[in-house]
Structure 1
Amino acid sequence: MRAVNNLLVLYTGGTIGMLETPEGLAPAGGFEARMRDHLAQCSDAPQLRWALRELDPLIDSANMQQANWLAMREAIVEAVEHDGHDGVLVLHGTDTLAYSAAALSFLLLGLPVPVLLTGSMLPAGTPDSDAWDNLIGALRQFEQGLQNGVQLFFHGQLLHGCRASKLRSEAFDAFTAPARHRQGERAAKLPATLSYRQARQPVKLAVLPVFPGLGAEHLHGLLASGIRGLVLECYGSGTGPSDDLALLDALHTARQQGVLVVAISQCPEGSVVFDTYAAGSRLRDAGLLSGGGMTREAALGKLFGLLGAGLDRETAGHWFQLDLCGERA
């Protein structure tokens, strides 16, 4: 762990830099000047050398797509490999902040500098906003020293990048790391295909909750859309309607078509242990891979990191079951 001396602030949009428009709050440029003006007025501002880059286009994070994750990855790799930055702070909207933190955790495996994401619930400059507290708090983390990897800082909390979830839609302490049981084998060595230097491509993915009434036709509809990966949010410890033979056949079909289907628990605090119930064992036998205690954000981000690197189902499944950066263990 070491202090950062040459920080890149990557501004992607989000509430922290929004300004009022006739249609409501919207992303706005020019945040570097506002940030420098505010820090100049703070007697105890962190003493870091930093530069700010705005992604184009700036977006409300509700519009976040895989292309935006790829643009962030590219900007971060360029900042480190070509511009000599030894840390990156990403300013991001809160709606999909945890999703981006998880995705970047897998897109930046092995990156030799720390990456931290933050944002705010209210825009900078509005009364009683949390924006400057979160931003200055994040800068202090870099000043004090951070471990390499992706983390999230919000309301005084430093959270693991692929363990965080948004818990509240209005309160300042909006993010938490759910108490999910994590136990898994750590990958001994990462292949070059999963390195941060490996470019990724967009890949069709889906998330589907199990619910009373879920049928094979729902799954067939997703398969027909061309998905390559599916996060199935199961009940409890990884159960579902295992007496529905048509649904089990649809899961078999997904596997035969090369689709990677993984299971996580719907419970905020829980994990998948297929052998606990026969209903779970039957889903496993139909081709599901256990996501253990991974969150939805982590499971989706990991599928993107693996399948977006061009791995086939079997190879991606192998790496999915290993812990790559703290998401499973």
Structure 2
Amino acid sequence: MRAVKNLLVLYTGGTIGMLQTPQGLAPAGGFEARMREHLQQLADAPLLTWRLHELTPLIDSANMQQGNWLAMREAIVEAVERDGHDGILLLHGTDTLAYTAAALSFLLLGLPVPVLLTGSMLPAGAPDSDAWDNLCGALRLMATGIDNGVQLYFHGQLLHGARASKLRSEAFDAFATLPRERDGQRVETIPACLDYRQPCQPVNLMVLPVFPGLQVGHLRGLLASGVQGLLLECYGSGTGPSDDQDLLDALHDARQGGVLIAAISQCPEGAVHFDTYAAGSRLRDTGLVSAGGMTREAALGKMFALLGTGLDVQAAEHWFALDLCGERAQ
């Protein structure tokens, strides 16, 4: 752990900096002036040098897309390698905050500085807002010392970037780390093909929950759209409709056609263990790879980073099954 001396605050939009418009709250620029004014009024303001960069266009995080993740990655790498910043504080909306934290955890593997994400449930300046508490708390962590890697700070909690999930839509303690099983073998050295300097491209991904009534036509129609990676949200320990041979054949054909298909558990406290039930084993035998106890956010972000670097399905499956940054193992 080390104190950050030259911080970049990367403002992407979100509730924390929103202002009221006739249509409702919307992202607004000029947040640096508001932030400096607030800090100047604090007797115990965090002591560190910082500058703020607005990533345009500012967005409500409900509009988050892969292109926004790649723009964040590019801005962060440029800030570190060109401008000499030794820490990044990313201000972000809460709707997709956990997804972005997970995606950046894999897009920035090996980056030698801490990246901390935060936001708020109410805009800065609103009565009883949590915005300044979250922002100042994050700044204090940076000023006193924080480990390298991607983390999320919210309501006094410091959470692993690839383990956090949003559990509540209104309460200030909206984010938590779910008690999901850790089962992966940790990679000792990040390979060059996954290093943060590696270019990444958008990927056609899809998340599909298993549910009573899922039909093979649904799956084949989805796969016909050119999906490169499919995250299948299974029941319990990784089960699904294993007596539907047409559905199993569709999964097998997709895997043979080069689609990465991974399974996670729908349960908030769960993990995939295909061999527990025959219904799980039959799914595994179609070519699914287990995400173990990873969250949806982590599994999707990892799939995006692996396939986005151009890895083929066999290589992507290999690295997906291993722990790259703490998403699968302690």
SS at match of 1:261: strand
Map 1:50-65 to 2 at 5 A. 50-65=50-65
Q: Which amino acid aligns with 1:9?
A: V
* Counterpart AA for 1:281: S
**TM-score of the pair, normalised by structure 1:** 0.99
1:291 paired residue number: 291
Segments of 5+ residues of structure 2 without an aligned counterpart are none
Q: Which residue of 2 aligns with 1:248?
A: 248
The AA in structure 1 aligned to 2:297 is E
Aligned to 2:311: 311
- Distance in 2 between the 1:190 and 1:317 partners? 16
Residue 97 of structure 2: aligned partner: 97
- Aligned counterparts of 2:74 and 2:199: Cα–Cα separation in 1: 8
What does residue range 156-167 of structure 1 map to in structure 2 within 5 Å?
A: 156-167=156-167
The answer as to 2:188 corresponding to 1:188 is: yes
- Structure 1: give runs of 5+ residues left out of the alignment: none
Aligned to 1:76: 76
Aligned to 1:126: 126
- In structure 2, the residue corresponding to 1:37 is in which secondary structure? helix
Q: Which residue of 2 aligns with 1:323?
A: 323
Give the distance between the partners of 1:215 and 1:265, measured in 2 at CA.
19
* TM-superposed deviation, 1:187: 1.6
Aligned to 1:16: 16
Paired with 1:219 and 1:294, the residues of 2 have a C-alpha distance of 23
The aligned residue for residue 265 of structure 1 is 265
Cα offset, 1:189, TM superposition = 2.3
CA distance in 1, matches of 2:199, 2:16: 29
CA distance in 2, matches of 1:21, 1:289: 46
How far apart, CA to CA, are the structure 1 residues paired with 2:66 and 2:164? 19
Q: Secondary structure at the match of 2:231?
A: strand
> Counterparts of 1:231 and 1:30 in 2: how far apart (Å)?
39
Q: Which runs of 4+ in 1 moved over 4 A?
A: none
SS in 2 for 1:75: helix
Residue aligning to 1:25: 25
- Give the letter aligned to residue 159 of structure 2: L
**Pairing 1:167-186 to 2, within 5 Å after superposition:** 167-186=167-186
Post-superposition offset of 1:86: 0.2
Q: TM-score, normalised by structure 2?
A: 0.99
Paired residue for 1:41? 41
In the TM superposition, what is the alpha-carbon distance from 1:94 to its structure 2 partner? 0.1
| Aligned-residue RMSD, C-alpha | 0.5
Residue equivalent to 2:109: 109
Looking at structure 2, the residues matched to 310 and 276 of structure 1 have their Cα atoms a distance apart, in angstroms, of 33
Partner SS, residue 53 of structure 1? strand
**SS of aligned partner of 2:287:** coil
1:256 is displaced (CA, Å) by: 1.3
Deviations along 1:218-242, one digit per CA (max 9) or x if unpaired, are 1111111101001100000000000
Give me the whole-angstrom Cα distance separating, in 1, the residues matched to 2:74 and 2:206.
24
Residue 149 (1) aligns with residue 122 (2):
no
Tell me how far apart the structure 1 counterparts of residues 322 and 234 of structure 2 sit (CA, whole Å): 20
Paired-residue identity, %: 79
User: Partner of 1:218 in structure 2?
Assistant: 218
The C-alpha deviation readout for 1:149-188, integer Å capped at 9, x for no partner, is: 0000000000000000000000000000000011111123
Alignment size in residue pairs? 329
Whole-Å separation in 2 of the counterparts to 1:55 and 1:48: 22
Q: Give me the whole-angstrom Cα distance separating, in 2, the residues matched to 1:174 and 1:235.
A: 25
Report whether the alignment pairs 1:206 with 2:212: no
